[in-house]
């Protein structure tokens, strides 16, 4: 059985912990590896190395750092097939989808290549007579990232390329369910010329996360995962005086207006609800059918959900792969059982799907509920599987109220042909990322990604300009040179002279 270790100081690192976790191939249901789970002292050892590396790395010119990022970008492109296959093997999503998610991570590296431009400060000549002032952004020190299973390349790449470009060093604790892609990315970054100790991967579970929270040499923590853990990270990092951004779960609505292009809405919903088996934080799990469009929408969806091609991620014909683990499969099936008990109408039932030759794989077919009500748990809670709930709303105001009353605020979209409706919706929705006739409005790398309400704890979104702000601290310098200036003690608040 393969043993997956850590990557610290530019090489494999075993650490002292004997604890391991199991990694599966979700397509076959077979265990594929054991992964080391770090102890507190393993994590602390890695931080010592990252802290030492910070001294030189933070002193390198931004252009020097950018040139290494350019090489890293080339290596990701060169090895994209290998990286994609690693994602498919441990996560289960279909090959082209996995490749797309790698590309979205690569785009953050491309953005970070512009770091000399991004770090340029602001200068004012003569803030007072012969007094100049300028502001600049400096790196924080050792930063840490804690990431979820559902995007093993993209989410870590929302974080470390920007943190490192800004001059920080980084400890990444990827999901213990699919750790291999992060390790391969770290090796490629080393091959690109990244000095040892700048990017370190420490595998682990709660023990290593708590060690990150408690380590005094970690200046900032970026987290992406479920809401209860995001809240725990946010509160405890703050208690330990760290800068923190913690992105949580979601329940994204798609509002389908009666005037929309129904084909576009149905196709958009199919990809957004069932792509990646619904294991996306921007997956649409609620369709809000407005006015009289409900019956037509559901009729069209039923045909497409029943025709969904479910299979292993490496099979080119598969549109949807398995779920990540057996436990997660059981959780999702449990929610479908619950929906039936709660009185929602299960119009497509994927629970009994069996795939010949893959009987042990973690598969479930697409599930579709109609007549879901807002007091049901299947509406209120995140299921994180291929389960779409249709809820009916009398009019636009009722639909907007549903969106705004929900505890989550990650993404939302509206399908309409009316500009006024689209604009009002985008302005009034209490949600971080809004799509108008766009089913999954994930911002590009040069914008920033983040939700509102209980989908994000903290102030800064990830990547893009907010990422640069998160991974740097602002300093403002005011200076005057002595020639021609007579100084006297001044006891009053200085003002412009």
Q: Minimum distance from CB of 140 to ligand NAD (Å)?
A: 21
Catalytic amino acids? 281
Half-sphere exposure of 41 (CA within 13 A, CB side): 6
Q: Where on the chain is the footprint of ligand NAD (CB under 6 A)? A: 146-151, 155, 173, 175-176, 205-206, 209, 224-226, 229, 247-250, 281, 382, 384, 410, 451, 455
Q: Minimum distance from CB of 323 to ligand NAD (Å)?
A: 11
Q: Minimum distance from CB of 390 to ligand NAD (Å)?
A: 21
Q: Minimum distance from CB of 98 to ligand NAD (Å)?
A: 15
**Which of 482, 428, 472, 388 lies closest to 164, judged by CA?**
472
Pick between residue 5 and residue 132 the one whose CB is nearest to ligand NAD.
Answer: 5
Q: What is the rounded distance in angstroms from the CA atom of residue 379 to the CA atom of residue 369?
A: 10
Q: What is the rounded distance in angstroms from the CA atom of residue 387 to the CA atom of residue 190?
A: 41
Pick between residue 225 and residue 268 the one whose CB is nearest to ligand NAD.
Answer: 225
Q: What is the rounded distance in angstroms from the CA atom of residue 198 to the CA atom of residue 15?
A: 18
């Amino acid at each position: 059985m393969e043993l997956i270790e850590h990557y610290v100081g530019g090489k494999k690192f075993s650490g002292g912990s004997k604890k391991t976790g199991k990694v599966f191939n979700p397509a076959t249901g077979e265990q594929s590896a054991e992964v080391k789970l770090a102890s507190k002292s393993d994590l602390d050892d890695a931080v010592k190395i990252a802290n030492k590396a910070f001294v030189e790395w933070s002193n390198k010119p931004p252009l020097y750092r950018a040139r290494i990022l350019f090489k890293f970008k080339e290596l990701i492109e060169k090895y994209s097939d290998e990286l994609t296959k690693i994602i498919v093997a441990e996560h289960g999503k279909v090959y082209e989808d996995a490749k797309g998610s790698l590309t979205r991570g690569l785009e953050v590296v491309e953005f970070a290549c512009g770091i000399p431009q991004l770090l340029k400060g602001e200068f004012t000549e003569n803030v007072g007579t012969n007094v100049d002032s300028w502001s600049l952004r400096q790196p924080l020190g050792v930063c840490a990232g804690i990431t979820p299973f559902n995007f093993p390349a993209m989410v870590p790449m929302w974080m470390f390329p920007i943190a490192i470009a800004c001059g920080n060093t980084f400890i990444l604790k990827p999901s213990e369910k699919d750790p291999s892609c992060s390790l391969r990315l770290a090796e490629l970054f080393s091959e690109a010329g990244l000095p040892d100790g700048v990017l370190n991967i420490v595998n682990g579970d709660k023990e290593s996360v708590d060690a990150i929270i408690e380590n005094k040499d970690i200046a900032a923590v970026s987290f992406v995962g479920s809401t209860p853990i995001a809240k725990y990270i946010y509160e405890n990092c703050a208690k330990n005086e760290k800068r923190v951004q913690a992105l949580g779960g979601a329940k994204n609505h798609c509002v389908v207006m009666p005037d929309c292009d129904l084909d576009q809405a149905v196709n958009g919903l199919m990809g957004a609800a069932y792509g990646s088996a619904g294991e996306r934080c921007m997956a649409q799990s609620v369709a809000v059918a407005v006015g009289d469009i409900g019956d037509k929408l559901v009729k069209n969806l039923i045909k497409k959900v029943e025709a969904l091609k479910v299979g292993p991620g490496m099979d080119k014909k598969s549109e949807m792969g398995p779920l990540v683990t057996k436990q997660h499969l059981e959780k999702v099936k449990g929610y479908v059982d619950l929906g039936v008990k709660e009185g929602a109408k299960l119009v497509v039932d994927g629970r009994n799907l069996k795939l010949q030759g893959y009987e042990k794989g973690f598969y479930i077919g697409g599930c579709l509920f109609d007549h879901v009500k807002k007091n049901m748990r299947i509406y209120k809670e995140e299921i994180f599987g291929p389960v779409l709930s249709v809820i009916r709303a009398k009019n636009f105001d009722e639909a907007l109220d549903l969106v705004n009353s929900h505890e989550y605020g990650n993404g939302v979209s509206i399908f309409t042909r009316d500009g006024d409706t689209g604009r009002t919706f985008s302005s009034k929705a209490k949600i971080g990322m809004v799509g108008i006739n766009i089913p999954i409005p994930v911002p590009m790398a040069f914008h920033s990604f983040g939700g509102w309400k209980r989908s994000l704890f903290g102030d800064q979104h990830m990547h893009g300009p907010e990422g640069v702000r998160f991974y740097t601290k602002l300093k403002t310098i005011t200076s005057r040179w002595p020639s021609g200036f007579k100084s006297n003690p001044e006891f009053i608040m200085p003002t412009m002279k």
